[in-house]
A and B are shown apart, each in its own frame.
Chain A
């Protein structure tokens, strides 16, 4: 009984049954301005809209009627909002609108309209925004502003919604309902932001603290700042490229990028120096390609949040590693159980999907050759996994350069950045190979316990690769959803 009463009371609209509440989440990106507009209608305004929604007069609103109403209301909302970018009025393009109902007080419903709005326009100096949609009705009015790839001067509006986008209104006696109807965002310089929108853990990996981390962060800022330099001279450009190499190298030092996995792989498979080179080259190629593709896609699709793409790429990277790990595990198990020389003719079944052709029918040394082919495929897979998730700063550099019409310069910088990464990873790989060889010799010299452990190494490392890959995938999945 009591809980029933409580439920009924708790369901009351916190801002009163009369209110229509507005949220505008602005996001300024290099090539566009995006607004996630949310309108929260309390019980009475929801009821007042009912006859307009229910066009066929059936007494209930069908999904089709709701969709039509949402679309037309979002269009009206877009018309009632004024967006002025760099002094020129711009009109919103309305994305897929949605209308949801929630049970309210007194057996009535409340409703929530979401309008994804975007305007494909590059901002160089300012974004002025004002919202007069249902301006005369009482209610909460909130604006937030974030940016990605563009640095904004402090505007007076927060970056995070205090009401969780009209889901939870703060209950503060010393705060009046927000009444933020307009805001002017100013671009601070033309430099892209060093610290753009908040992003998921899969993207930045672990941050590095201490003096090294600080130095890297400073370098990072210098680098991203270089893109926006008002006049680009040849020495400045070269300096930027050099910096990009250093930064890439530094970036690869930060935990992540499959270094642990690579280490485990190389150690477990008794890799050679060449293998380290293969990983480095693949990372560079994948990273550069990945940044270019993601950059292209993000600027082409307005409603896309960069962080979500990166999360999904992280997921793919994790899955790829896991696949490599499973393959390793399989071959390790087979290697132990069946011994050598029985691998003939089995090569076909494994390589598919990776498309690597290996020499068939080469008579002698077949088994070893095949094993090497497998190994290389695994290495390349790991390289791809390591380079698949673009580094945020590389992405910012590319987007910033594109926004300033210096796309090729941006591409060059991204390439240099990848080169730097490759250098570090290769160096690490070489170091590991050396280390592994030593260990191997040690194991060969002393049979017994150590030898048995060394013999078990492939199985152990393979398991480790699977676990790490799966972990990465799960973490990215959590970030993506």
Chain B
């Protein structure tokens, strides 16, 4: 039985229980065979000679070519998970043997064991058969060719679904564990730890030290002294074990991508990550949450961060979904601030003060220009990752960042059809080409200096001259409409019709103007949380609906209850729960719609409001 404990992108923390033993994944299977070095401190084992007492054990042995089943000398507990002996023949090889053992695997699969090797052409029933562990036989070979690795991974995940374990034989160096888990691989083994030990490589996450070098580590093996292969193997096992625990912690905390980027130390990993980001965005993006806790604020520190799926998604949605507030035709481009939300920072408070002094703030559209997100309209400032990200600020920009910023800004300005543009940025002259010729630059050497602020005031005043004053209620409602459309896609703006917004610190309470609350925007969550009344306004208008069977949802809606789900739903999204087109409640999606389509169990939506409750506040 498999239980999913936590998700982060394609990665899962899972608990696999079999015959009374359980194993938490991601994890390593330590190899156990009489003639091999033995490391006994792990949680899971891959054994060629009998069960490891009290530990989760998978079994391996025999030979397909020699037509030899597992040794009779190792009696197995009933219904043990056994990895069949099959030759590792890669997909796509023109040689015929691919078919060879496909036939021999038929028999194995028919036996209904929990383990299924997959290689070459997948069996047509892969999605539906009962196997709990898939052995991704070509993983090690594919890792030598990053493009193929990324392609095969997507193929495997799409074919196999997202709720069972995948084992990648021969992979498991500490430096690779976070990346492999990020790819949705759950089990690894100690073979690479052994091979490295034989070659005198002491492995650490992201580092390879020479076995003869003293004092690089204080794990129990290294503290014991010695530099022979035995000591080094034990060290490698300890290092992998603590890394895999860190990986599980990162998945639980929603910070796996940060750990992955921290550990990038081999070229193939960097290349494979790039392939996934750039060439398989459509597939990967679906699994990344739209909101994360503040503790998992995004650290976009290096080049690898620039192509994160959440960043790419934010950029795309700004261009594809977003519409500016109609009454704000004057665009004011502002720099980002270290403090989030931007509006709480000292610099932005002084910008805001300057805008307010002009008497028509509703006509000014404040938009932050920032790397790596591109452009962030101020009303989206709490939306992940805009609401909590950290970037190194040194005033240096690399070509990719510049290109993305320039492109994003040019397209944004052109779509917004602004009547005037004030560019209050400093040190970003490279953006010049993206601005219309009439744009006024006021940032100067320092955007917060008294003279720069005065310049900005003058420029804005000139553009605002003669414009009708936009009332505060209208300005607020338009900004909520823009945010709602960004969150729910076209149709989302229906939420904000004739609404009224009350500010409470960084939060916004959205009502219908007659005391009925429609939604709450909390900076911490960054998304609009709907009430039943708010949800009614969106019913039938967006792709954020989960259709359930005929029951009254409360608590959590579990998988068998879900009939269908809107394509755009991502983990963390606000969703309407419906039956036969009627609203049954509102909640937070726990998985993406792709996963809802495939999963047979597990929580799909955590309900916030449902029919029997009054759709009041939180």
Q: Are A and B a genuine interacting pair, yes or no?
A: no
